[in-house]
């Protein structure tokens, strides 16, 4: 599973833990968690 990571320095997207500018990259938000929250919110508003 390859997550898209974002550089904390230049904001460039990368798949590796270290960006081409030699800065660390981070995942903006865990997709699984945000998807579950979105689902819960939708179900809540539907009722």
Please give the residue ranges that form the binding site for Zn ion (CB under 5 A).
Answer: 7, 9-10, 12, 19, 21, 23
- Distance in Å, CB of 16 to Zn ion, minimum: 11
The b/e string for 12-37 (b: 16+ C-beta within 10 A; e otherwise) is eebeeeebeeeeebeeeeeeeeeeee
Task: Closer to Zn ion by CB, 3 or 35: give it.
Answer: 3
Task: Report the nearest approach of Zn ion to the CB of residue 32 (Å).
Answer: 25
Apex 23 CA angle, 1 and 8, nearest 5: 75
Q: Which is nearer to Zn ion, 26 or 34 (CB)?
A: 26
């Amino acid at each position: 599973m390859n997550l898209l990571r974002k550089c904390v320095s230049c904001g460039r997207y990368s798949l590796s833990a270290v960006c081409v500018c030699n800065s660390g990259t981070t995942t903006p938000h865990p997709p699984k968690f945000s998807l579950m929250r979105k689902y819960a919110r939708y179900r809540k508003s539907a009722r």
